[in-house]
Each structure stands twice: as C-alpha cells, then as structure tokens.
Amino acid sequence: MNHLVSSRSPDDAADDAPDAVDEIRAGWHRLRPELDTTAVDIAGRLIRASALLVRATEERLAAFELTRGEFDVLTTLRRLAAPQSPTTLRTIGLASAPAVTKRLHALERRRLVLRTANPADGRGALIALTDEGTALVDAAFPEVLDVERELLAAVPESLREDAAQGLRAVLASIEAAPKQ
C-alpha cells in the first residue's frame, strides 16, 4: 500500500478510528515508550495532509503543465499584482533560492513570467506575470480550489471553523519559534 494512501473511507474522516499517525505513534511507543510523541498528533497530521494536498493538486496542475511550486510562484505574483524580486518570492513561498531559480527559469521559458532589471537595485531583478501567465493562473486556480474542496468535503461544517482556528494557532506557534 502507498504510504500516503489511507485505507479509511471519507465517511471515517471525522470519527475516532485510528489513522496512520496513530499507527506511527503506537509503533514508536512499542519501541521507545519513554519518548513523548504527542507532538506527532499535530505535526504528523500536518505533514501527511500537506503531502496528500500537494500530490492531489499536482495531479490537477499536470493538465496545465505546472508543478505545485511553479503554480505557487504564479499565484503569488497574481495575488500581489506587482512585480516581485526572487528573494520576495522565495520568502513568501518558503522555498530555497535554487528552487525558486529553477521555477523562474521554467516559467520564463514558457513565457509565463518576465524578468526585468530592478531599478532600485541594478544587480537584482523583478519578476512579473505576462498576459499568458495571468491567463494560465486564472484558469488553474479554480481547479486547485476544486481539489481542495473535494479533499475537505468529508470534514463536517461544524469542525471546519475550529480546525481553521486551531491550525492558525499551530502556524503562529511554528512561525514564532526560534530558528533551529
């Protein structure tokens, strides 16, 4: 069985049936009962959910010949509605400099973004969406939203707001933590 695919049905999503993270914790408890693995309840589920979301959206983005990383660059540029430096794109996208460079080169080759000199920094560049890039992201974004809605459809409405608030607190805690 694929390590990212659960044997649980969508109907089981909100109940207390054990999931893959519970199995991971139980395994570590058998091996190392002295370890406190409670953080895995949240961190493990975040990592697993993220991997499943990325995989599902990449499958949909394949129709647009985009990776999730390239899509993230395009949506950032579209949302900010102004040219951005590669450093800004890296910071917002939480990607390494080489990853952003690779994405930008791929998007430039497809004429989805345009690189121009940064007038405020003669050595730097600004990245802007082209008309083709805007059209592509405007077509792809609703498809990604559909995938996300489909994946979350089994989560009862009564849990969604609490989940969003809880995840906001988790993200704030992680972002505020000292850098390792």
**Domain containing residue 135: CATH number:** 1.10.10.10
**140 within some domain:** yes
pLDDT digits (tens, 9 = 90+) for 30-63: 999 999 999 999 999 999 999 999 999 999 999 9
Reference 38, options 54, 52, 25; nearest CA is 25
| Domains contained in the chain, number | 2
pTM of the model: 0.82
Burial class (CB in 10 A: 0-12, 13-18, 19+), 73: buried
For residue 83, the enclosing domain spans 65-147
Q: Which two tokens stand for residue 53?
A: 């979301």
What is the model's pLDDT at position 1? 34
Q: Which residues contact 71 (CB under 8 A, 6 or more apart)?
A: 57, 61, 64, 137, 140, 144
Q: H/E element holding 112?
A: none
